[in-house]
Every structure is written in C-alpha cells, then in structure tokens.
Amino acid sequence: MEQVAILNVDHLSGGYSRGKPVLHDISFEVGRGEMIGLIGLNGAGKSTTMKHILGLMTPQQGEIRIQGSTLAKETEQYRASLAFVPESPQLYEEMTVREHLEFTARAYNVSQADYEERSAHLIKLFNMGDKEDSLSMHLSKGMKQKVMIMCAFVAAPPLYVIDEPFLGLDPLGIRSLLDFMVQTKESGSSILLSSHILSTIENYCDRFIVLHKGKVIIQGTLEQIREQTGQQNVPLEQIFYDLVQDGL
C-alpha cells in the first residue's frame, strides 16, 4: 500500500560541529498511521536524528519536512505537527500534572472540551488520578515519564517523536503506552519511536530503521529486513546484533 509520508528526512547530514558530522546522509520516511522503530547502539545517532527533526539542531545538509512544511519556512505549522517524549522527563517543577496537560493543550490550540476529554482519559489510562494535583517535583521518575507521555498525547498532533519511552515505566505503564500507541496509530497519527527493548517493539512497529555510526544500514519491515539479511524466522534482536557486530 502506498503510504502518504508525514515525515520526510531527505539526505540529512548533521552534528555538533561542521568538521565532524554525526549523521551521514540519512534518508527515511514515516507514513501516515505508521509506527517506525528507530534502533541503534548508544551513540549511533538516534537522539541526534530526533533533535534535527525537533528543530533543536540545524542540518548541515539535507532537509526535513513534516506534512510538507519545513521548520525554517512554516515554523508554527511545523511545530504544531509534532509532539515529543524525551528519554529523560523534563517537567516544570512549579506545575502540577494537570497543569502540564493544560499548558500543552493551550500551546497546541486544543479546544477546552477536547482537552478535558483527552486528559480525563489519559489520567485514567496511566493510573495518575491520585497524582493529578501533585507538583511534578514530587513524582517518581516513572510518573514523570507518564506525564511526558500524557502531554504528548493530549496534544494529538499528526507525528509523535518518542525517545526511549519505556525507561522507568512499570509493567502496567508499558502496556498502557503500547496499547495507546496502537490506538493512536490506527487513528491515523504516526510515531517515530526509539527503543533498546527490541523484543517489545518488534511486535508493535510497522517498520524499522537501523542506525549505526550515523548511517542507516538497513530499513524496512521485519520481513524485509529478514530477507535482506538472509535470516528467516530470526527475532529482530538477533538480526540487530549480527548487523552491528559485523559493522563494528
């Protein structure tokens, strides 16, 4: 089936200094309603790729488009099209859980009625009912991560960029998140997800992009990757291990 791309990363090279790019000519797409797993070892360039997509870093070469718009030309449209869940929760200590959701909803121009409905659903789903009026500084790391996830989902943009979302989450939280990501994807939104827990995401992602030393070394569905590597009926984790071992 022909996918309509929500995110286009086209020949992206970039990094922290011009002479030493971290990313080398990366290209991939995320289609509408797709969940894509971005996988790689520590330092492979996953977070740097995400930072470029978020506009926190400027590409040295190449272009990134979300629904056709670029950050430089259509800043607000670009920003309104994506939500981000960082690896480490970053919350405002002076705001409660509910206020974080409200701040996000206000920023993303979510109507008050939609905000009420979505926040009630998310608070229940992530079992945060007794913490909604707590200041974020009083939450455990797992709870903070849940707030980050809820903030992204209350915004309901077309694209989610999610970096290592399972860190610190309890098993119920992981299940709730996975179920909600599936629902979100089925409703037409797209997810770019980075995780080291390959056995979990193997069953949830539609396609995978394997980054190694700043390059895309393989991408496709699990079946396509198996075909390309000649490893039938082998779990993703094993294929990934063989790929990066060979490339080390």
Partner 1 sequence: MNDLLKLRQQRQQAFWGEVLPYLRYVMQSGLAIVTFFLLIVFAAWYTTFLQNVPQGLPVHWILLILFTPLAIYGSVRTYMRTADIVFMLPLEVRMREYFAPAWRSSVIGKMIWLLILALVAFPFYVRADMNAKSLSLLVIVLIIAKLLGSYGSWQELRMNTAAARVGYRLLRYVLIIGLLAAFLWLPLMTALIAVVVIALVYIALLRIPGKASVPWERLIATEKNHAAGVMRLLGWFVDVPNGERKVSHRRWLSFVGNRVPWVPAKSFRFLVSKTLVRGELLPILIRFVIIGVVFVLITRESWFGIVVYLLFILLAGMQMTSLRKQHTDTLWLSIYPIPPESQRLETVKLITQTQVWITLLLWLPLASAGDPMRMILTFIAGLVAVWLYRRSLNRKWLKDIEAEAEFD
How far from 4 is each of 32, 68, 210, 214, CA to CA, in Å? 6, 11, 21, 26
Inter-axis angle of helices 222-229 and 236-247, to 10 degrees?
Answer: 50
Q: Are 91 and 148 in contact (CB under 8 A)?
A: yes
- Give the one residue of 31, 62, 86, 220 binding partner 1; rule: CB under 8 A: 86
Q: Which two tokens stand for residue 157?
A: 């943009």
3-class DSSP state of 197 = coil
Query: Which H or E run includes 155?
Result: helix 141-155
Q: x-or-dash pattern for partner 1, window 117-156, by CB under 8 A?
A: ------------------x-x-------------------
The region of 20-28, 34-42, 76-84, 122-130 touching partner 1 under the rule CB under 8 A is: 76-84
- Give the one residue of 63, 72, 76, 221 binding partner 1; rule: CB under 8 A: 76
- Give the one residue of 80, 101, 139, 210 binding partner 1; rule: CB under 8 A: 80
Shortest CB 199 distance to partner 1, Å: 30
- Give the one residue of 112, 140, 221, 228 binding partner 1; rule: CB under 8 A: 112
The number of residues that bind partner 1 (CB under 8 A) is: 27
3-class DSSP state of 190 = strand
The region of 92-100, 122-130, 198-206, 209-217 touching partner 1 under the rule CB under 8 A is: 92-100
For partner 1, the closer CB: 138 or 175 = 138
- Bridge partners (DSSP) listed for residue 20: 17
Q: Are 10 and 63 in contact (CB under 8 A)?
A: yes
Provide the residue type at 109 as one letter. Answer: N
Residue 55, classified by CB atoms within 10 Å of its CB into exposed (0-12), middle (13-18) or buried (19+), is middle
How far from 162 is each of 52, 131, 181, 215, 227, CA to CA, in Å? 14, 23, 10, 20, 28
For partner 1, the closer CB: 57 or 174 = 57
108 forms part of the interface with partner 1 (CB under 8 A): yes
For partner 1, the closer CB: 107 or 172 = 107
For partner 1, the closer CB: 86 or 168 = 86
Shortest CB 153 distance to partner 1, Å: 14
Shortest CB 81 distance to partner 1, Å: 8
Q: Which residues of 41-51 are buried (b: 16+ CB within 10 A; e: fewer)?
A: beebbbbbbbb
Shortest CB 16 distance to partner 1, Å: 15
Spatial distance between the Cα atoms of 117 and 45, rounded to a whole number of angstroms: 37
226 forms part of the interface with partner 1 (CB under 8 A): no
Residues from 32 through 61 that contact partner 1 (CB under 8 A):
54-56
For partner 1, the closer CB: 75 or 228 = 75
